[in-house]
């Protein structure tokens, strides 16, 4: 066995450990196999999701896949909502998860919303992560599909990293942001790595938001169009903390340092983000 074959076998074994036990029941689904960049960079992904939520039921989000972050302390960004586990803020029906931000008293705040997390129920090291979503409209809305470290091996934010698969602020409609945050690269010191892409109809229809996360890079795509490329510089964890497990978050914030930069249109609420599916595909290797 060659050295490259041994390394490939070790990588596959590691991925199996990280994703083991996460496979959801049901018929296999075809993976997004567009010739879009990850293939060109030599990495391959399985065709069937190892972890997914198709939101096919009715009622509260599946507790086997999702928990809630709760409270209204501003979440580090001076946001205005309190996150709840109320059905009125997160509900599944007709094949879609709907997260709703409402103008109403909640947890000492004037707005309520929901923040779903897969921590402890869907934790991943490398892979292709894709969600199909329709975004809210209205000044003051700030929806996000993103990932945070499960174990925070390198310390508190931003040292252990953050991967933003989709962010959108309502005062700048139709422009979607994809970002990574690390100790070396983050907005607090003016070094954040962000890419912005126009998405006509982002608030009137569903679009696919995805990252291909490998040991070499985090690459972001919208409807298979390459948007973000953040390479592993091989300089250590300050620049690349993305060699540890991460989990998913789905949330709709109100206001905050970025989302509320141009004020809040109270008439825009209730506002909703709809998510058709979330799928995670194992990284196979080169």
**Residues catalogued as catalytic:** 162, 167
Beta strands at 109-113 and 81-83: parallel, antiparallel or unpaired? parallel
Residue whose entry in the numeric block shows the structure tokens 């978050």: 249
Beta strands at 127-134 and 217-222: parallel, antiparallel or unpaired? unpaired
Residue whose entry in the numeric block shows the structure tokens 């070094």: 191
Distance CA 35, CA 172 (A): 31
Distance CA 86, CA 29 (A): 31
Q: What would the two tokens of residue 14 be?
A: 């590691």
Q: Is the dihedral of CA 205, 206, 212, 218 positive or negative?
A: positive
| Among candidate residues 23, 52, 29, 20, the one with its CA nearest the CA of residue 279 | 52
DSSP per position, 24-61 = PPSS--------SSTTTTT-EE-SS-SEEE---SSBSP
Tell me, what DSSP letter sits at residue 216?
S
């Amino acid at each position: 066995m060659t050295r490259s074959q041994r390394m490939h076998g070790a990588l596959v074994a590691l991925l199996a450990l990280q994703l083991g036990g996460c496979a959801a029941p049901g018929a296999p689904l075809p993976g997004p196999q567009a010739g879009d960049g990850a293939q060109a960079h030599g990495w391959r992904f399985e065709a069937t999701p190892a972890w997914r939520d198709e939101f096919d039921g009715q009622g509260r989000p599946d507790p086997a896949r999702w928990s809630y972050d709760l409270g209204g302390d501003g979440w580090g960004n001076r946001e205005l909502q309190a996150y709840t586990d109320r059905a009125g803020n997160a509900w599944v029906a007709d094949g879609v998860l709907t997260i709703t931000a409402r103008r109403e008293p909640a947890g000492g705040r004037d707005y309520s919303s929901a923040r779903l997390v897969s921590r402890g129920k869907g934790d991943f090291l490398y892979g292709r992560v894709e969600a199909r979503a329709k975004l809210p409209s209205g000044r003051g809305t700030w929806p996000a599909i993103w990932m945070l470290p499960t174990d925070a091996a390198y310390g508190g934010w931003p040292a252990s990293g953050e991967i933003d698969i989709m962010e959108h602020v309502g005062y700048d409609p139709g422009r979607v942001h994809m970002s990574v945050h690390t100790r070396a690269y983050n907005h607090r010191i003016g070094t954040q790595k962000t890419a912005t892409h126009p998405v006509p109809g982002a608030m009137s229809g569903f679009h696919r938001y995805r990252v291909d996360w490998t040991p070499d890079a985090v690459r972001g795509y919208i409807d298979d169009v390459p948007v973000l490329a953040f390479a592993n510089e091989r300089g250590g964890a300050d620049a690349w903390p993305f060699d540890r497990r991460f989990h998913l978050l789905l949330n709709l914030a109100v206001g905050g340092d970025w989302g509320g930069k141009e004020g809040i249109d109270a008439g825009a609420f209730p506002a909703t983000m709809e998510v058709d599916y979330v799928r995670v595909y194992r990284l196979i290797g080169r």
